[in-house]
Amino acid sequence: MWNLENRAAFRACVADLLNNPEVQKMREVRQHVQDANCLQHCLFVAYLSFLFCRKFHLDAASAARGGLLHDLYLYDWRTHEGHHMTMHPITALVNATHLFTLNDKEKDIIVKHMWPLTPALPKYAESFVVSTADKLCALAEIFHIYRWLRVGEHLDFQPNKHAKAL
């Protein structure tokens, strides 16, 4: 899972996203638990989605990119007014499309990652993969499996790091 080849291929798909200062701001947003921030969560979701899609000959690059951007909302959902569960995918898509040129698959992944909690059915297999990975990663964080897997250690990509530092 954590081999160098997988991490290098994943990094090649998302390097431009990770080098963006707005994406790096996700480090400042707490996710499901105290010891995981939004960027770490999104990296975990993106990496698992990438591996699954690669294994089953789906569009691993779009899954990685959409997975990394799926929670690009940049606010603490615990204190934010409004219906976070249904609105944050739209906010993330708006933010992502302002920063990057996305393909249709990446857009669908971002806006439909909360399915089945939101009514719109994902259009692509990769969207289902990311949606499922999102739920699995959230559970891994809540039950502290995230720490046991040493996800942060394996996926803590800093901006502008060289690929061999993976």
Residue type, 139: L
Q: Is residue 164 part of a domain?
A: no
Domain count, the chain: 1
Using DSSP, state whether 30 is helix, strand or coil.
Answer: strand
Q: Is residue 98 part of a domain?
A: yes
Q: Is residue 138 part of a domain?
A: yes
Q: Is residue 162 part of a domain?
A: no
Nearest to 47 by CA among 121, 136, 118: 136
One digit per residue, the tens of pLDDT, for the chain of length 166 reads 778 899 999 999 999 999 999 999 988 877 655 667 889 899 999 999 999 999 999 999 999 999 999 999 875 655 656 655 667 899 999 999 999 999 999 999 999 989 888 888 999 999 999 999 999 988 888 887 766 666 667 676 554 443 333 3
Q: Is residue 19 part of a domain?
A: yes
Q: Is residue 128 part of a domain?
A: yes
Write the CATH number for 85: 1.10.3210.10
- Integer Cα distance of 164 and 65 in angstroms: 21
CA 160 to chain centre: 19
Q: Identify the domain containing residue 50 by its residue range.
A: 4-156
